[in-house]
């Protein structure tokens, strides 16, 4: 049986990668699948951690510029932002991008 954290993470990754070529998408998914077991924080915990920055909309594990991360997208009024949550501690790693 699949670990729930891995299953949700893979679904989020597969649903969120848009605008890349098939080869890039497969490479990105493989990188996330390899690194996902190192995550000690679930997507739900990441969403909860980002609530202080706005209304959480979605979350995903991804490899961005070679770095594995948990990205949470939030809305505050008309402003949208990406919050990076430390995937090992559950603390906000950096604000918006």
**pLDDT tens figures, 11-41:** 454 455 444 556 788 888 999 999 999 999 9
Residue 84 scores a pLDDT above 50: yes
90 is in which domain, residue-wise? 4-94
Res 75 pLDDT > 90? yes
- What's the domain count of the chain? 1
pLDDT the model gives residue 7:
44
pLDDT for 22: 60
pLDDT score at 1:
41
In this prediction, residue 82 carries a pLDDT of 95
Q: Distances from the Cα of 92 to the Cαs of 50, 75, 83, 87, in angstroms?
A: 7, 16, 7, 9
Tens-place pLDDT, residues 47-74:
999 999 999 999 999 999 899 999 999 9
**Contact present, 90 and 41 (Cβ < 8 Å):** yes
């Amino acid at each position: 049986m699949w670990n729930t954290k891995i299953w949700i993470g893979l679904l989020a990754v597969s649903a969120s990668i848009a605008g890349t070529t098939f080869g890039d998408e497969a490479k990105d998914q493989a990188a996330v699948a390899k690194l996902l077991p190192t995550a000690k924080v679930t997507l739900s915990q990441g969403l909860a951690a980002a609530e202080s920055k706005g209304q959480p909309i979605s979350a995903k594990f991804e490899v961005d510029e070679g770095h594995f991360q948990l990205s949470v997208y939030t809305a505050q009024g008309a402003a949208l932002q990406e919050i990076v949550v430390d995937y090992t501690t559950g603390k906000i790693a950096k604000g918006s991008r």
